[in-house]
Amino acid sequence: MSWERRTMRTVRVRNKQIIGTLANLLNTIASQAGSVGEIKLISDAAHAVVRDITVYAEDEKHMQQIIEAMRANPGTHIDEIRDEVLEMHQKGKIAIRSRYDIDSIAKLRRVYTPGVADVCLRIAKEPALARKYTIASHLVAIVTDGSAVLGLGDIGALAGMPVMEGKAMLMESLVGLSGIPILLNTKDVDEIVDSIAHIAPTFAAIQLEDISAPRCFEIEKRLQEKLDIPVMHDDQHGTAVVTTAALLVATERAGANLGTAVIGQIGLGAAGLATVKMLMKLTGNPVMGTDLSQDALTRLEAAGGIPATLDEIMAKADIVVATTGAQGLIKPEMVRKGQIILALSNPSPEIEPEVALKAGAAFAADGKSVNNVLGFPGIFRGAVDANAREISDEMLLAAAHTLASLTKEGFLVPHPLNKEVHQAVARAVAEKAFEQGLARAEYVSYVD
């Protein structure tokens, strides 16, 4: 069973003070193919012990089976069942708070009328001062139309809001940027581009999120041409950065040369095509690619890649990256001895790493650790700190090299919650922006 998208409940149980009651309860959960996480003691009285037990199941139906079996355990009474995931999302996960307490008339006059009028007039005369005197200096729009949310597909922008809130939380907690979810109730490319362009003065950067291919390619390109602030589609470039970093680490561990290896990309959606382009930029060599869509193959060829079949890639490529969402697509008999295989689809990879290694791969990994949370916070922080006009390929490669250099032995990428890693990525991205002449501000290495 894959536990990546499992159902979780916290069950408060009241067990009689009889030896074996808890052990029998845990055995009951295991007999129903459930999994136990944290067990927390709430109270220990003369006649009963109350504990919170975290229980995992495949889905809701499976969870109900486990709960009913727990109810039937002799000596056990269930007091409460909580869904802590839903509890954490109640009323949303983010909020806008004032940086100052308005506790006097004097402060009121400074932050609002009449004092604020002077600030407005200064910005009207010199628009660049908005970066100094308003939230626009650190505000990032996280924009979605809800057409490609996680692995859930086209569920609509409103249903995608919890993901956008999560991105905003990560931006704030990891690098101190203020992310604002923007939900667009349209999937029309022209309307999306125009809507974002109209609200762009509010923001220091635009993060496009969960917008389906191929529309995402045109939307990003047109916005980059239209706006003078950084625009990045995270599903493309955030994923490509972390994948490239993982490959830099994997090839070093396997004793391979990324610059001379034959690389094959299976799946040419948003993440797949962006990864191909980044690897070609890094190595200077064409990358083989395959997809069920002929349009995707045409885009690959236009970018300088080599269209191929799945069998051709598995037969010729030294390095294989897969982002198809198709569980078990790569069969063990397809694996060649010495190949490096990153099967990155979640929750179920194209081939399990242990299966690939048993079949002869020199190195194999799945997508559990290759998460774009390692990319987008630092990339945007660096671009915003430098007041860059855009996020260039070179800035993205700087992020990838930084992640690879900070990966500890035994890991494929750094820990995603290590703030020092995100700060290092931000510095590398900003420094590259200055080096390329894309920056418009005196750079401070890292700003809270």
Of 264, 312, 316, nearest to 288 (Cα)? 264
> What integer pLDDT is reported at residue 442 of this predicted model?
59
Domain co-membership, 357 together with 288: yes
In residues, how long is the chain?
Answer: 448
pLDDT digits (tens, 9 = 90+) for 417-447: 999 999 999 999 999 999 999 998 654 444 4
Strands (E), 98-230: 139-144, 178-183, 205-208
Domain co-membership, 225 together with 282: no
| CA pair distance 327, 316, nearest whole angstrom | 22
Catalytically annotated residues:
112, 167
- CATH number of the domain at 250, please: 3.40.50.720
Of 133-137, 276-280, 402-406, the one with minimum mean pLDDT is 133-137
| CA pair distance 259, 252, nearest whole angstrom | 11
Determine the angle formed by the axes of helices 270-283 and 234-254, rounding to 10 degrees: 50
| CA pair distance 110, 6, nearest whole angstrom | 51
> What integer pLDDT is reported at residue 447 of this predicted model?
44
170, 198, 229 — which closes off a domain? Answer: 229
Of residues 134 and 325, the one with the higher pLDDT is 134
Domain co-membership, 32 together with 158: no
Q: Is the pLDDT of residue 56 over 50?
A: yes
DSSP 252-313: HHHT--TTTS-EEEE--SHHHHHHHHHHHHHHSS--EEE-S-HHHHHHHHHTT-EE--HHHH
In terms of phi and psi (left: phi > 0; alpha: psi -120 to 50; beta: otherwise), the region of 74 is: beta
| CA pair distance 218, 209, nearest whole angstrom | 14
| CA pair distance 265, 144, nearest whole angstrom | 26
Residues 318, 263 contacting (CB under 8 angstroms):
yes
- In a domain? residue 96: no
Record the pTM: 0.83
Instruction: Provide the pLDDT confidence category of residue 93 given band limits of 50, 70 and 90.
Output: confident
pLDDT digits (tens, 9 = 90+) for 331-369: 999 999 999 999 988 778 899 999 999 999 999 998 877
Domain co-membership, 219 together with 250: no
- Cα Rg of the chain, angstroms: 25
229, 262, 290 — which closes off a domain? Answer: 229
Count of H helices and E strands in the chain? Answer: 17, 14
- CATH number of the domain at 55, please: 3.30.70.260
| Structural domain boundaries, residue 332 | 238-441
> What integer pLDDT is reported at residue 1 of this predicted model?
38
- CATH number of the domain at 209, please: 3.40.50.10380
Q: Counting Cβ atoms within 10 Å, is residue 26 exposed (0-12), middle (13-18) or buried (19+)?
A: middle
Number of independent structural domains in the chain: 3
pLDDT digits (tens, 9 = 90+) for 373-399: 999 999 999 999 999 999 999 999 999
In terms of phi and psi (left: phi > 0; alpha: psi -120 to 50; beta: otherwise), the region of 410 is: left
pLDDT digits (tens, 9 = 90+) for 66-85: 999 999 999 999 999 998 88
- In a domain? residue 110: yes
